[in-house]
Structure 1
Amino acid sequence: MTSSPNSREDAWVLEATIRTAPAADPHWQEQLDRLRPIASYDPETQTWHARLGALDLAGLQMLQTLFDTARVHGTEVRLTHVAVPAYWDGPAFRRGPDVAVAAFLEAQADRGRPLGQLPLA
């Protein structure tokens, strides 16, 4: 059986897993204020999660917020590609060139370091 060009089997999203950095108020609150609009909190794992299915303006703004939060607060951000969740109704990447784009973004963040583990300037 072959899949159609728009099959969910070939679709994926970038999933960001975010661990906040310890900080005293008001830096702690500022860190949370940056994450709340773009991510959801999982109290069981004590991590934040965000998903991205397109490198459109909203997606790039989300990535920029994650980069900025990591740079300013030391927040740890890990990006992985995952199959599109059943509840996902947003855009999704397809196998092929998009995989290379995701790998490029992660590699260019800072060679040799995972995204979010960038040194503070």
Structure 2
Amino acid sequence: MVIKVTAGADAPERCNQAFTVAAAAVASGVPVSLWLTGESSWFGVPGRAKEFTLPHATPLADLLDVVLTGGRVTVCTQCAARREIGPDDLIEGVRIAGAPTFVEEVLGEGVQALVY
């Protein structure tokens, strides 16, 4: 399952839904690739997910930890560049990749893509 998050703290419920679905899928044994784009790109940087709060929701940092243990997390190349985020700025296990990689993952056999 490929999940693309386009929202960050600017749309907290939409952002949290994506992380919740990704973590639930990982916990269910589903292969997950979580793409952080736009303002969600910041959650690939250490400490940023801990700053995110949403009442009655599992902490974003906890959801991200679940995804990192059993899935893949990617920050969009262009989104990272616009925010001056480089590979050395990211949480261990998070990578930077672009549209060709996203398309390759989405076109994989049996893959479903969700965009939030």
TM-score surpassing 0.5?
no
TM-score after normalising by structure 1: 0.31
Larger Rg: 1
Q: Give the number of the structure whose residues are more often helix, by fraction.
A: 2
Q: Which has the higher strand share?
A: 1
Please report the TM-score for the alignment, with normalisation by the length of structure 2: 0.32
